[in-house]
């Protein structure tokens, strides 16, 4: 394992009167970075088109180059549900799990004749993966599920076709909880192929194809809020969104019609990347406050951008040539929450009541050593969610209570002489 010491440059951009700082981070690699995901504002991972992946514990100041050993092919997607427990998927039916933060991986090979493209875990035990397999005039799409952390997998949906226009190649899946979620698939014969949306409300025992497809290709689906979903344009179409859980879709303006990456911040706010490679134009990072009715340009880069991630008002983008950039907004930015709050604050968890995961957010006015812990009604510590130095700003951490019984719990944030607690309800 090689540790990369970051030597970065800060660049101040101003678009439409608003300032932000973009930092080019040293990934230590020159290969293409496919995906980036952050558990919170410090702990993140990025996959490459090789067996190498990257890991940071300090928001990207330092990226560790790590590897899934004894593998010849890269992974398509990686997701961590805690600092230690993570999952990945790849081609040739490969699924992976780690219990030690990615130092060692357990590989489940050739479980299905499929190339896995995406996965979605809602806790350390329960997750789903989707994929595709194709040949000459043949296509297969599949959705699989595990309830034991990847030890065993079951097939929930399989669609085969010898008609290339009827194939269902599953590209992406997102589960809102252990019952409700969405997957997208299509034949992707040309730039105008529709994308079909499948929804489950019973954990995947039944997947319903919704009656109205997205009218253009899409590669990735993300949950913006509740029933508001965003999908990209596969690099050949604009972004599309839905406010009713996928039963109807709206496509953003055609001014940006080559959307390769999306990162919703809320139901209406979020980020996209537009890559007009047909005309050899730079990649443009854009921000919207109205689900794509209008856009503000934020950054232009020459590399091809493949993914965007946002956590606590920080933004990361990844792409070709090992590119990683991070955005730290200044207080004058258009974000609804300034990056440097004036108060030490602990927000109500969401959702509440919850089962089995909930998000806990807090703000600190300056860089501080913080502790975030969860206690039961008898005052016994049941979880240590954060213990370290955090930058000034708003941070979000996911609490997984899948191993705890139903009941009332308290979460407490301390830093220096400050301490604050709030109550939450776990209902199973």
Domain with 388 in it: what CATH number? 2.60.40.2550
Q: Is residue 335 part of a domain?
A: no
The reported pLDDT for the residue numbered 226 is 87
End-to-end CA distance of the chain: give it in Å, rounded: 41
The reported pLDDT for the residue numbered 17 is 37
Peptide bond into 208 cis (omega under 30): no
Q: Give how many domains the chain has, as a whole number.
A: 2
Rg of the chain on CA atoms, in Å: 21
Q: Is residue 142 part of a domain?
A: yes
Domain end, chosen from 329, 357, 381, is at 329
Looking at the structure, tell me whether residues 306 and 372 fall in a common domain: no
Looking at the structure, tell me whether residues 242 and 366 fall in a common domain: no
CB 185, CB 176: distance < 8 Å = no
Looking at the structure, tell me whether residues 111 and 183 fall in a common domain: yes
The reported pLDDT for the residue numbered 342 is 53
Looking at the structure, tell me whether residues 254 and 365 fall in a common domain: no
Q: By C-alpha distance, which of 317, 224, 209 is closest to 273?
A: 317
Domain end, chosen from 329, 362, 382, is at 329
Q: By C-alpha distance, which of 252, 171, 182 is closest to 217?
A: 171
Cα dihedral sign, 224-228-229-230: negative
Q: Is residue 384 part of a domain?
A: yes
Please calculate the CA angle 178-149-410 and round it to the nearest 5 degrees: 60
Looking at the structure, tell me whether residues 307 and 406 fall in a common domain: no
Q: Is residue 367 part of a domain?
A: yes
Peptide bond into 103 cis (omega under 30): no
Looking at the structure, tell me whether residues 213 and 268 fall in a common domain: yes
3-state secondary structure the chain: CEECCCCCEEEEEEECCEEEEEEEECCCCCCCEEEEEECCCCCEEEEECCCEEEEECCCCCCCEEEECCCCCCCEEEEEECCCCCEEEEECCCCEEEECCCCCCCEEECCCCCCEEEEEEECCCCCEEEEEEEEECCEEEEEEEEECCCCCCCEEEEEEEECCCCCCCEEEEEEECCCCCEEEEEECCCCCCCCEEEEEECCCCCCCEECCCCECCCCCCEEEEECCEEEECCCCCCCCEEECCCCCCCEECCCCCCCEEEEEECCCCCEEEEEECHHHCCCEEEEEECCCCCCCEEEEEECCCEEEEEEECCEEEEEEHHHCEEEEEECCCCCCCCCCCCCCCEECCCECCCECCEEEEEEEECCCEEEEEEEEECCCCEEEEEEEEEECCEEEEEEEECCCCCCEEEEEEEEECCEEEEEEEEECC
Please list the ranges in the chain whose pLDDT falls under 50: 1-19, 330-341
Q: Is residue 338 part of a domain?
A: no
Looking at the structure, tell me whether residues 349 and 309 fall in a common domain: no
The reported pLDDT for the residue numbered 254 is 66
Looking at the structure, tell me whether residues 8 and 60 fall in a common domain: yes
- pTM for this predicted structure: 0.75
Q: Is residue 88 part of a domain?
A: yes
Looking at the structure, tell me whether residues 370 and 245 fall in a common domain: no
Looking at the structure, tell me whether residues 199 and 144 fall in a common domain: yes
Looking at the structure, tell me whether residues 11 and 94 fall in a common domain: yes
CATH of residue 116: 2.130.10.10
Q: Find the domain containing 204 and state its range.
A: 2-329
CA dist., res. 213 & res. 196, Å (int)? 5
Looking at the structure, tell me whether residues 255 and 384 fall in a common domain: no
């Amino acid at each position: 394992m090689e540790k990369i010491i970051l030597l970065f440059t800060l660049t101040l951009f101003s678009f439409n009167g608003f300032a932000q700082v973009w930092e080019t981070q040293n990934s230590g690699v020159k290969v293409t970075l496919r995906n980036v995901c952050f558990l919170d504002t410090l702990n993140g991972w990025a996959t490459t088109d090789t067996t190498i992946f990257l890991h940071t514990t300090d928001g990207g100041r330092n990226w560790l180059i790590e590897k899934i050993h004894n593998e010849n092919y890269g992974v398509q997607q990686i997701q961590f549900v805690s600092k230690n427990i993570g999952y990945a998927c790849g081609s040739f039916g490969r699924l992976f799990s780690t219990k030690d933060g990615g130092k060692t991986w357990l590989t489940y090979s050739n479980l299905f004749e499929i190339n896995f493209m995406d996965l979605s875990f809602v806790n350390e035990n329960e997750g789903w993966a989707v994929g595709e397999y194709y040949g000459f005039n043949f296509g297969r799409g599949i959705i699989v599920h595990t309830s034991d952390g990847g030890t065993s997998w079951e097939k929930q949906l399989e669609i085969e076709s010898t008609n290339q226009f009827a194939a269902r190649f599953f590209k992406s899946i997102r589960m809102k909880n252990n019952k409700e979620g969405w997957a997208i698939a299509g034949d992707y014969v040309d730039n105008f192929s529709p994308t079909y949306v499948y929804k489950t409300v019973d954990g995947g025992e039944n997947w319903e194809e919704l009656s109205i497809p997205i009218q253009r290709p899409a590669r990735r689906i993300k949950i913006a809020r509740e029933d508001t979903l965003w999908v990209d344009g596969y690099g050949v179409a604009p972004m599309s969104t839905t406010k009713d859980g996928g039963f109807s879709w709206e496509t953003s303006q055609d001014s940006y019609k080559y959307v390769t990456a999306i990162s919703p911040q809320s139901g209406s706010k979020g980020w996209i990347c537009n890559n007009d490679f047909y005309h050899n134009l730079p990649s443009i990072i854009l921000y919207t406050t109205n689900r794509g009715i209008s856009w503000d340009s934020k950054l232009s880069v020459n590399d091809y951008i493949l993914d965007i991630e946002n956590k606590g008002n920080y933004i990361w983008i990844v792409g070709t040539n090992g590119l990683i950039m991070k955005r730290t907004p200044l207080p004058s930015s258009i974000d609804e929450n300034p990056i440097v709050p004036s108060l030490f604050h602990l927000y109500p968890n969401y959702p509440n009541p919850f089962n089995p995961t909930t998000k806990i957010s807090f703000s600190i006015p300056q860089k501080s050593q913080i502790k975030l812990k969860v206690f039961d009604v008898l005052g016994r510590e049941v979880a240590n969610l954060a213990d370290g130095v955090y930058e000034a700003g708003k941070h979000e951490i996911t609490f997984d209570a899948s191993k705890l019984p139903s009941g009332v719990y308290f979460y407490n944030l301390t830093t220096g002489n400050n301490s604050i607690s709030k109550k939450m309800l776990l209902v199973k």
